[in-house]
Amino acid sequence: MRYLHIHQQCLNMLYMLLLMVACQTPPIQNSEFNSPIQLHPENPHYFLYKDKPLALITSAEHYGAVLNLDFDYRTYLETLSREGMNYTRIFTGSYFEIAGESFGIQNNTLAPQKDKIITPWVVVESEPSGRVKYDLSNWNEAYFRRLNDFIKAAAEQDIIVEITLFSSIYRDAHWDICPQNPANNINVNHEVTRFEAHTLNNGELFAFQERFVRKMVNELNAFNNVFFEIQNEPWSDHPVPVYNIVNREDLRPDDWTYKADFADEASMAWQEKIVSIIVEEENQLPKKHLIAQNYTNFKAPIPEVSGPVSIIHFHYAWPEAVEWNHHYNKVIGFDESGFAGSGDQAYRRQAWQFMLSGGGLFNNLDYSFFVGHEDGLGENHAPGGGSRTLRRQLKTLSDFLHGFELEKLHPNPTCVQSAPGLIPYVLSDQNHAYAIFLRAIGTEKSTLRLKTGNENFQVMTLNTLTGLYMDPIAIKTTDGFLDMAIEIPEGELALSITKR
């Protein structure tokens, strides 16, 4: 009996200890694993999500997955996940496009049929002319149910969703169908042009924009797999030409493909105000989400980045966009690609070059996704690319990068001493690991000389088209340099070089 009494005392003590430990352990919802995607604290050029370093790489539909009622987003998200994509971008309904017309895109998910558009605002009347009237003070709960279900479905597939709150309004025809246009709502009682809509000089409209931003922030605060982008291509409505990318004598103001534009002061002031609203609203909420700002096309050194902005976005980006802005210690994103034909090569190479320069995000516009082909097997009729093959090749890039300790990688182009006929893009850590992408110019054979120090290395050669590695090669360096012959018949090649 004495033994049993002591044994019971021991069990009681053990129970109390376990209870104390349980009380001291924070609940799981407060752990880092359950925090929103954030910049990696060790290397803010990449993300941290579910306690793991992350680069975002995708080939995704044209932003209409939520606002287009015909689009089967569950099949779409399952396809992205199955094919190794981890990110998608959506527009919210404050802007959409014209079916069969906008930008020459035949199957445009951002241009639903008129009776298949869903926006955050209730429709109060439709005129015989076809004009729809919205009540900007009355939320469309069906929209928010669809939005929440989309984000939840994406979370189940470990897909990060970029929420683009607003977009430039490229043409009068787009303004003619826009809910923010006073002609299309019952709330704004004065004229606002499309050029004034995203400035602080938009009168009554701004109060409804602020209300909308606060609503979106509150609706999505519980989710970890989202970040906010202020506005898509703000320089389009308010261009300030800053950089002639082709070294022509004229900037060709009528042709965006020749120049990088910044947004003007009026646009930047409005964007800064939207940022402050997001921050202010989230200060009252449990979770804090990243904010992205879209600065320009192609490449340019950004003169100033707002403190709350964590992601610097370019469209149609060149590798120099990373190099010239790396000092900000924020993610540099290639947020949209396209207009380079329907083939895979241009977009595959864009992705490798940008990400191996230190970029943290790549998004190709994939026009094989559209209504009826949410499986990504549709025939592309658009001025851009997208295919299952391209997505497989982008998965190869993602697997390659995430095969390293991503948070330790930094651009290191100066370690290349020579690479005749090759353009090298190099990331390395502080422990003799090198991630390299090589573009061949006019040659199928070359030599690579890399300053590495003296170590025993394993070199893995990756075919970026097939995703296949050649047998590893062991190289011992004795003079501080790694030298190897390169055969590159496909015009591109990746190398993983690690210490043995």
Residue 477: Cβ-neighbour burial (10 angstroms; 0-12, 13-18, 19+): middle
- How many domains is the chain partitioned into structurally? 2
Residue 92 lies in a domain: yes
Please check whether residues 373 and 429 belong to one and the same domain.
Answer: no
Residue 27 lies in a domain: no
Return the percentage of the chain with pLDDT > 90, whole number.
84
Does residue 15 carry a pLDDT above 50?
Answer: no
Structure tokens at 178: 């826009």
Please check whether residues 418 and 405 belong to one and the same domain.
Answer: no
Domain boundary among 361, 376, 409: 409
Residue 294 lies in a domain: yes
For residue 11, the model assigns a pLDDT of 42
For residue 104, the model assigns a pLDDT of 86
Contact 314, 269 (CB under 8 A): no
Please check whether residues 346 and 491 belong to one and the same domain.
Answer: no
Q: Which residues of 139-150 are buried (b: 16+ CB within 10 A; e: fewer)?
A: bbeebbebbeeb
**pLDDT tens digits along 24-57:** 433 334 455 789 999 999 999 999 999 999 999 9
Average pLDDT over residues 167-174: 96
Range of the domain at 53: 36-409
For residue 98, the model assigns a pLDDT of 94
Q: Using DSSP bridges, classify how beta strands 291-297 and 311-315 pair: parallel, antiparallel or unpaired.
A: parallel
Does residue 163 carry a pLDDT above 80?
Answer: yes
For residue 77, the model assigns a pLDDT of 98
Q: What is the CATH number of the domain that holds 171?
A: 3.20.20.80
Please check whether residues 402 and 434 belong to one and the same domain.
Answer: no
Residue 17 lies in a domain: no
Please check whether residues 257 and 325 belong to one and the same domain.
Answer: yes
Residue 15: how many CB atoms within 10 A of its CB?
Answer: 10
Contact 497, 482 (CB under 8 A): yes
Does residue 247 carry a pLDDT above 90?
Answer: no
* Residue labelled with tokens 């429709």: 123
For residue 251, the model assigns a pLDDT of 72
Average pLDDT over residues 104-124: 94
Residue 439 lies in a domain: yes
Mean pLDDT of the chain: 92
Domain boundary among 384, 409, 434: 409
Residue 161 lies in a domain: yes
Angle at which helices 388-402 and 345-355 cross, to 10°: 20
Q: Which amino acid is at 12?
A: N
Cα pseudo-dihedral 195, 201, 206, 209, rounded to 10: 30
Lowest mean pLDDT among 99-103, 343-347, 358-362, 414-418: 99-103
Does residue 129 carry a pLDDT above 90?
Answer: no
Please check whether residues 62 and 197 belong to one and the same domain.
Answer: yes
Return the percentage of the chain with pLDDT > 70, whole number.
93
Q: How far apart are CA 347 and CA 447, in angstroms?
A: 26
Average pLDDT over residues 220-231: 98
Contact 322, 358 (CB under 8 A): yes
Q: Is 137 helix (H, G, I), strand (E, B) or coil?
A: strand
Please check whether residues 357 and 486 belong to one and the same domain.
Answer: no
Please check whether residues 416 and 401 belong to one and the same domain.
Answer: no
Q: What is the CATH number of the domain that holds 427?
A: 2.60.40.1180
Please check whether residues 244 and 159 belong to one and the same domain.
Answer: yes
Residue 80 lies in a domain: yes
Does residue 121 carry a pLDDT above 80?
Answer: yes
For residue 31, the model assigns a pLDDT of 52
- pTM of this prediction? 0.92
Please check whether residues 339 and 481 belong to one and the same domain.
Answer: no
Strand order in the sheet with 434-440: 410-411, 422-428, 434-440, 492-499, 456-462, 473-476
Please check whether residues 157 and 188 belong to one and the same domain.
Answer: yes
Residue 87 lies in a domain: yes
Residue 288: Cβ-neighbour burial (10 angstroms; 0-12, 13-18, 19+): middle
Higher pLDDT, 19 or 302: 302
Please check whether residues 374 and 435 belong to one and the same domain.
Answer: no
**pLDDT tens digits along 407-432:** 999 999 999 999 999 999 999 998 88
Domain boundary among 388, 409, 430: 409
Does residue 472 carry a pLDDT above 60?
Answer: yes
